[in-house]
Chains A and B, each alone.
Chain A
Amino acid sequence: MIDRLNASLNFMQQSLNLRAERQEVLSANIANADTPGYKARDFDFRAELDRAVNQGRAEGQSGLSLSMTSSRHIPAQANGSVGGIDMMYRNPTQPSLDGNTVDMDMERVNFADNAVHYQADVQFLTSRLQGLKNAMQRES
């Protein structure tokens, strides 16, 4: 019973996780809009969601990874976790002289879009939980 519940919520959970992750990436892009040489990052949400649902949780959610205090440490993850999110670089439409590829308009549009999707995910999850709750209540 419980694993059925878990399975029915798993998709939304993975989606919410990835949305939060993407929110972080886009925030970092906006934060670094004036950093010379910074390359804007993003990931393919569809592909990552597909992978997270089919192969398990993405990196960072497993909770067991070595903390690294030096850039020469080797990242290590506990067993059971699959590789991290495949981060990609944006193709700049208007390259700037200082090597920065953050397009503020695009980043902000993506950010707003991602935020709305996150809210939608939360909303869906809430209504799913409400439905389960209703089903569990006895008829009066």
Chain B
Amino acid sequence: MSLFNVFNISGSALSAQSQRMNVTASNLANADSVAGPDGQPYRAKQLTFEMAAEPGQQIGGVRVAGISEDQSEFRRLFDPKNPAADDQGYVNMPNVDTTSEMVNMISAARSYQANVEVLNTNKSLMLKTLTLGQ
């Protein structure tokens, strides 16, 4: 354990948060994608984080444990003129919850900022240590 390890910890958090931002961007971009490659409407993706500690270590960074698809019901929109409408005139829309995605985005951005700050502080501390005794 040394101050260098802090770079790994903050770095892992940065990449995890930017991955979260990626998923949020994908969800928001596809909020109206009625048909994906498989012909089905887009399903919202969710990330799960987990702590990434080396074996035997008590502290560690963070990593993305996996990306899961939101299995909740599709949004049903009444639009008989839409070519994708079923025989009752309803279109299945993606189950993206735009509000919670926006909240997610802000949270990810703030966490990213916090970790950048941590990284900068530690960098300046290390540089200061290098000038010890001068």
Judging by beta carbons under 8 Å apart, are B58 and A21 in contact? no
Whether A71 is near chain B, meaning CB under 8 Å from some CB there, is yes
Q: Give complex CA distance A139, B26 in Å.
A: 71
Judging by beta carbons under 8 Å apart, are B115 and A30 in contact? yes
Q: Per a CB cutoff under 8 Å, which of A16, A69, A125 touches B55?
A: A69
Measured as residues with beta carbon below 8 angstroms from the partner, the interface class of chain B is: 35 or more
Smallest beta-carbon distance B33→chain A, Å: 27
Judging by beta carbons under 8 Å apart, are B62 and A24 in contact? no
Smallest beta-carbon distance A26→chain B, Å: 8
Fill in one digit per residue for B28-60: 1 if any A CB lies within 8 Å of its CB, else 0: 000000000000000000001111001110111
- The total of chain A residues at the interface (CB under 8 A) is 37
Fill in one digit per residue for A1-39: 1 if any B CB lies within 8 Å of its CB, else 0: 000000000000000100011011101101111111010
Contact of A31 with B5 at beta-carbon distance under 8 Å, contacts A36-B48, A73-B55, A129-B132 already known: no
Judging by beta carbons under 8 Å apart, are A28 and B114 in contact? no
Q: Give complex CA distance A38, B7 in Å.
A: 20
Smallest beta-carbon distance A22→chain B, Å: 11
Main secondary structure of the interface of A (DSSP, over half): helix
Whether A96 is near chain B, meaning CB under 8 Å from some CB there, is no
Judging by beta carbons under 8 Å apart, are A38 and B58 in contact? no
Judging by beta carbons under 8 Å apart, are A30 and B55 in contact? no
Chain B residues closer than 8 Å to A108, beta-carbon distance: 114, 117
Chain A residues packing against B (C-beta within 8 Å)? 16, 20-21, 23-25, 27-28, 30-36, 38, 41, 60, 68-71, 73, 75, 87, 104, 108, 111-112, 115, 118-119, 122, 125-126, 129-130
7 A-B Cβ contacts within 8 A? Answer: A32-B49, A32-B61, A34-B49, A60-B2, A68-B56, A111-B118, A118-B125
